[in-house]
Structure 1
Amino acid sequence: MSKSLQKQTTASGFILPSIHALPPFFTLQLHPPSQASQTAHWTRLILSYARHRRLFTLRLEDAEVPGGEWDEIFHNSRINRRLKPTHLAFLLSTMVEQGQAIWDPPKQNRVVLLHWRLPEEWAEVLHEWATSTGQLNTILTFYEITDPPIDSAMSGIPTSLLRRAISILSKTGRAQIIEGAEGGGVRFFAPSGKP
């Protein structure tokens, strides 16, 4: 295998797949089967990188920011290639269509909230966090969840995603949203049938 096609490790410790070293990977393919394959590779790369770096949002402008949070995957200096904003726009639209992201805020097409964990998965992580930290039957503000004194799986989660996770837990009787003047909060409950 040529040196340029080997997997590379970025400064943040993320391992780039070997396809990242191929110049055509950075050019939107027009042939439908090639485009579908390329899009699937980019989607996996974006979601796994976002999970690695705990990045929740992706903006169209991120394709053009040298040294930005996403530059490690959107730019390959070894082959002098950068993902173009038009290609990223196509990827974002596809990810939204496939349920791997949502436009956030809604009614625009420049910024997405990435689903490297689905809202249903976040709901389970959130309830497990509340249970393991002894927070059942306690009212917590959203701020206390997203910015806890000790880093947790919930640290930094956007409020819109937190609300969706809480809503899922509410439908199963494991949480209740408490609306308040300071942004609201939540009370968690043990699953029904458990003490």
Structure 2
Amino acid sequence: MALSTHTTPTGFLLPSIHSAPPFFTQQPNPATQATVTEQWTKLILSYARFRRLFTLRVEDAETSGGDWDEVSRNPRINRRLLPSYLEYIISQLVAKGLAVYEPAKQTRSVQLYWRLPEEWAEVLHEWASSTGQLNTIMTFYEIVEPPLPSELSNLPISLLKKAIGILAKTARAQIIAVADGEGVRFLAGTSGR
């Protein structure tokens, strides 16, 4: 079979390397493996962004019918990503700062940074400014479950907290205690760029 791109049922365009059988196995040559790992990194992050997925687990390589099936399997060439290989790829994502183990102190599940926390901080502050939320105290829930969907919809609270922490360092946000936990007040401040 010739290498070719493929559009998945969700509309994501898989790169041609996804139709190469060696792409699904760990390579013995370190230089080749580094190249393949870089391709997996790009694929995982772009797919996560396309589908708005924030979590990747080793179990996703074992479970059919899940969110990651389109990437972790290629039935056209009868290949799938093995859990041990996905665990290696996950470790490389963490080493590059493109993911963090979530929860901490385990190595089988990560929170993906298809946008870095610093980028989420800018998205968050822009959202607060454009929706008139400056100087308003908001709960984390109000931000990640807004009445109208936004770029922040379903953002994991741990990632939201990191973004708020970044904004707090540049005096553009302030953590506030609220009745049911924590909230935030966004301030005009100046961009930390």
TM class by shorter chain equals: over 0.9
Q: Secondary structure at the match of 2:174?
A: strand
The question of 1:66 aligning with 2:35 is answered no
Q: Which residue among 10, 19, 22 is the counterpart of 1:21?
A: 19
Partner of 2:185: 187
- 2:29 is matched with which residue: 8, 28, 31? 31
* Cross-structure match for 2:49: 51
Alignment of 1:95-174 (within 5 A): 95-174=93-172
Q: Which runs of 4+ in 1 moved over 4 A?
A: none
Q: Aligned to 1:184, what secondary structure does the other structure show?
A: strand
Aligned length: 191
Superposed CA deviations along residues 63-97 of structure 1, whole A, max 9, x for unmatched, are 11111000000000000000000000000011101
Shift of 1:179: 2.6
Q: Which amino acid aligns with 1:40?
A: E
Give the aligned CA root-mean-square deviation in angstroms. Answer: 1.2
**Structure 1: distance between partners of 2:56 and 2:106:** 13
Distance 2:183 2:132 in 1: 16
Unmatched segments (≥5 aa) in structure 2: none
Alpha-carbon distance between aligned partners in 2 of 1:149 and 1:183, rounded to the nearest angstrom: 20
Identity of matched residues, %: 62
Cα deviations by residue, 1:117-171 (Å, 9 ceiling, x for unpaired):
0000000000000000000000000000000010000000000000000000000
Q: How far off its partner does 1:183 sit? A: 2.6
* TM-score scaled by length of structure 1: 0.95
Give the TM-score taking structure 2 as reference length: 0.96
Q: 1:192 offset after TM fit, Å? A: 4.3
